[in-house]
Amino acid sequence: MMEINQDTLDLIKEFEGFRAKAYKCPAGVWTIGYGTTAAAGVGIEPKAGMTITEDEAEDFLEKTLEQFGQQIKPAITAPINNNEYGAFISLAYNIGPGAFRKSSALRLFNAGDKAGAAKSILMWNKAGGKVLNGLVRRREAEKKLFLKAIEIPDEEEISSKHRTSLAQSKTMQASTLDIATKAGAGVTALAALDGNAQYIVLGFLGLSVLFTLWIMRERLQKWAGGIR
């Protein structure tokens, strides 16, 4: 499954750099945020004086990368993981999807030569016929991401999470059963009281239920935050 992961976003953001104010790139195209232009077709047309926030810039970047992904996915015919895909997305975002589809990096990858594909990423380090240090560093970062292994939780970690989830479920079940039991006993006792006493008891019961629900909510929030 080809998805843009956080490592990919971080890499592209690092090398594109954030610009809150619209500017003209070396090619004379109005650009903003993390290298977003009107050609991206993501709902913004940078122009003189325009400014955006960093959050807005990241949103436009993610939309742009999704579009780039749609353009290069059909050309990827070999099985691919998200780190390899991320490296290709970053490369395509920098050199253009057309150039990427014609690249030896893609050709070698589809042929099953991942080592050759990783080396071929490094070839795209020139602009105007000259090697640029910034492109050299970016290609090295893309190669590193391409070769980075996908982390898969081991069986012990999965088992631990399952046990924790099961324990939480049983605790919740016990709490629910306790509330139901107390409620049943309360109804029986309530029937033996007169009118005014019933109102008083009902008030206390209502407060008890609300307090119990509050405790359960706090416990759920702690579980969600990783606090046991």
Angle (CA) 184-187-193 rounded to 5° is: 150
pLDDT in tens, 110-147: 999 999 999 999 999 998 899 999 999 999 999 999 99
Provide CB contacts within 8 A for 119, sequence distance 6+.
Answer: 143
AA identity, residue 23 = Y
Asked whether the beta carbons of 131 and 112 are under 8 A apart, the reply is: no
Q: How far apart are CA 179 and CA 181, in angstroms?
A: 6
Rounded distance between C-alpha atoms, residue 118 and residue 105, angstroms: 7
CATH hierarchy code of domain 6-147:
1.10.530.40
* Confidence (pLDDT) at 9: 97
For 198-218, what is each residue's pLDDT tens digit? 566 566 666 766 666 656 666
Poorest-pLDDT segment among 55-59, 118-122, 147-151, 156-160 = 156-160
Instruction: Quickly list DSSP for 7-46.
Output: HHHHHHHHHH--EEEEEE-TTS-EEEETTEEGGG-SS---
Q: 3-state class of 184 per DSSP?
A: helix
Give me the active site residues, please: 16
Kindly state the helix (H) or strand (E) to which residue 1 belongs, with its residue range. Answer: none
Instruction: Locate the domains of the chain by residue range.
Output: 6-147, 155-224
The predicted structure's pLDDT at residue 191:
55
